[in-house]
Amino acid sequence: MTTLLVSHQFQVRFGAQIAESAARAGFGAELIALPPDPAARLADAECGRVEIAFFSGDVFPDFSRQFFSAARKAPRLKWLHVFNAGVDHPIYTEMLGRGVRLTTSAGSTAEPIAQTAIMGLLALARGFPRWLHAQRRREWDPERKQPPRDLRGQTVLVLGLGKIGSEIARLARVLGLQVIGVRRGPRRADDQVDELHPPAALRGLLPRCDWLVIACPLTPETRGLVDAGLIAALPRGARIINVARGEIVAEQALIAALRSGHLAGAYLDVFETEPLPPDSPLWDMPNVLVTPHNSAAAAGNDERVLAIFLDNLGRWHRGEPLVNEVAAKT
C-alpha cells in the first residue's frame, strides 16, 4: 500500500480517480488528507506514514504552510510532486537536500500562459492600451497619425524554450513573426523557431529584435539577467513581455526605459515584488499592461496536472524514470 498526502479538497475531487488508477496499475493507494481548516495540523502519526506528497493547486496559498509542515514531519517521504513548474522557492531546495525526489507539472499550463503572452503581444502591437484609455474617458479617439506596424515580418526573441516558450514560439510563427529562440540545449526537430542560439549570444541578438519575450526559469544565472545593459541593447521602440519571474528583469531599469521611450511598451504578468505595490509607476503607464501573476489561470489545469501525476505514479510503482524530475544540486 502506497500512502499519499493530499489536500482535503483534492481528496474529495480526485481521490477515487487516484485509487482507480493505482488499482489498474496493480497496487493500492491510500490517501491521507490535510484537515479542511488551514490552521489545523495533521497528526504526527499520520505524517509518519506519508511516502508521497502531492502539492496541488488548491493548496496554494492558503494551505501551503499546513502542507509543508506535514511534509517536513514526514520521515518516510520519498517523492514530492508539485502543481507548478517553477521550483525556485527554498522549500524545494530543502526537500531535495533531504533526498526527497521532486517532480513538477511543467507543461500543464503551457497553453494558457503562451496564449496570454500572445494576447499581450497582440494588444501592444495593435494599440489596445490607447483604445482602452480612450474607452475609460468615453472618448472616440481613432489612431490616424501613426498606424501600428504590421506584425508580419517583425522579430521576436523568446528567452527560454521550455514547454511554455516553445508554445509561444509556435504561436508567434503563426502570426508571421520571425522567431529567435535562446536555450542551452541543442536544436530539436520540433523546435518552432527560425534561429536557435545559446544564452551567451543573447546580447548580440537583441539589436535585431522588436520583441523580447521572457519565458525562462528563475535560476542564479537568470536572476537580474535582463538588466539596463540588455534593455539598452534592444532597438528603440522594442517591447518586452514577461510571463516568467519578475526577478529576471531589473524593474527600475525597465521603468526607466519605458519612461524615456526607448521601450515602446511592456506586458508584465510578474514583478520583483508581488503583489505589485500600489505606488508602483507600472500601474499608470499608458504603454504597460499589468496582470496579477495570473497568466496560467485556466479551468483545465487541474486535470492536466493530475494526468502528469498519475503517469508518474505508475512510473514510481514500476521503478521507471519520472517525468519532469528536478535534479538535486551537487
Describe the crossing of helices 163-174 and 110-126 by its angle, rounded to 10 degrees. Answer: 40
Peptide bond before residue 61 is cis, with ω within 30 degrees of 0: yes
Out of 8, 245, 251, 304, which one is annotated catalytic?
245
End-to-end CA distance of the chain: 32
Q: Which candidate, 185, 142, 141, 143, places its Cα nearest to that of 165?
A: 185
Antiparallel, parallel or unpaired: β 288-290 and 263-268:
parallel
Local structure of 87: helix, strand or coil: coil
Q: Which candidate, 83, 77, 78, places its Cα nearest to that of 104?
A: 83
Q: Would you state the cell numbers that stand for residue 60, as one nine-digit string?
A: 496554494
**167: annotated active-site residue:** no
Describe the crossing of helices 301-318 and 8-25 by its angle, rounded to 10 degrees. Answer: 40
**245: annotated active-site residue:** yes
Out of 274, 303, 318, 320, which one is annotated catalytic?
274
Q: Is there a contact between 117 and 241 (Cβ–Cβ < 8 Å)?
A: yes
Residue 159, beta-bridge partner list: 182, 214
Local structure of 249: helix, strand or coil: strand
Amino acid at 101: R
Describe the crossing of helices 64-72 and 90-97 by its angle, rounded to 10 degrees. Answer: 20
Q: Which candidate, 4, 108, 17, places its Cα nearest to that of 51?
A: 4
Out of 170, 173, 208, 293, which one is annotated catalytic?
293
CB atoms within 10 A of CB 36: 12
Local structure of 208: helix, strand or coil: helix
**262: annotated active-site residue:** no
Q: Would you state the cell numbers that stand for residue 137, as one nine-digit string?
A: 474617458
Residue with the three cell numbers 490616424: 144
| Residues designated as active site | 245, 274, 293
